Homo-oligomer: A and B are copies of this chain.
């Protein structure tokens, strides 16, 4: 892969912005987090696409696997997105046949979402895809480190959710 063949020929790099860069490095957590997530989404997508799912939809499936018949609003809150986002996602997934909307018969304002048979069939695949992606992502880390990472990420996530909720 002769990538550095010609493009690197001239050694004239900028050199006097070190202070700016130093400050920019405080930005690391945000960048690395977003970047890691982007890669995770890409990798997860590859494993998911075979079952007709997109990354982002799997969260809905898992939430429903845990508690079937959640409302759209509850799903949105649980996944940390706004209601219209969830409406669109649900719409797509309903069109794909993985779940279905049904009005609650006690309160017609509520629309509850249920997994369909085909949807439930995908759960296994989703679990495997997640498992596989996680194994890929944590290569070289000990179990303890993975647990630590999860713990820290949960704290960060919870902090951020709180921050974004404080509109």
Our pick among B20, B28, B56 for the contact of A123 (Cβ within 8 Å) is: B20
Closest chain B CB from A36 CB (angstroms): 4
Shortest CB distance A156–B (Å): 5
Interface SS of A by simple majority: helix
Contact (Cβ within 8 A) A40 B33 = yes
Interface status of A101 (Cβ within 8 A of chain B): no
The answer on a CB contact under 8 Å between A7 and B110 is yes
Shortest CB-to-CB span from A136 to chain B, Å, is 5
- Residues on A lying within 8 angstroms of B by beta carbon are 6-7, 9-10, 13-14, 17, 20-21, 23-24, 26-44, 55-56, 58-59, 62, 65-69, 71, 74, 79-81, 104, 106-107, 110, 123-124, 126-131, 133-134, 136-141, 145-146, 148-150, 152-157, 159-161, 163-164
6 smallest beta-carbon distances between A and B, as pairs: A27-B130, A37-B37, A39-B160, A23-B127, A36-B157, A149-B152
